[in-house]
Amino acid sequence: MKRFIIEREIENAGDLTADQLADIAQTSNEAVASLGVPYTWVNSYVAGDKIYCVHEAEDAETILEHARRGGFPANKVTEVANEFGPHSAGARVS
């Protein structure tokens, strides 16, 4: 499984209510369940006119298939090359 960042352009996404986000989450879960291949929705972040999602799948095509089935935009799909954080400072290898 690879990890992907998905940028979804949705006008006024920041104004979405908790109920609306619940509906979107349900649609997304149903789309995940319908794929019939390994797929994990990790998390999503609403910011301005965009929603940034972190998903795991075999390839970018499967990410797009999930978006199609959910009726979501997927304006940019980028594979995550690496992850690091404050803890990474102590993880030098050389």
| Range 14-43, binding other proteins (CB under 8 A) | 30-31, 33-37
Question: Of the candidates 21, 46, 56, 69, which one interacts with other proteins according to CB under 8 A?
Answer: 69
Distance from C-alpha of 5 to C-alpha of 16, rounded to nearest angstrom: 21
Q: Which is nearer to other proteins, 15 or 30 (CB)?
A: 30
Distance from C-alpha of 18 to C-alpha of 68, rounded to nearest angstrom: 23
| Element spanning 60, H or E | helix 60-70
Q: Which is nearer to other proteins, 47 or 76 (CB)?
A: 76
Please name which of 73, 23, 31 lies closest in space to residue 53, comparing C-alpha atoms.
73
The site for other proteins (CB under 8 A) is made up of: 30-31, 33-37, 62, 65, 68-71
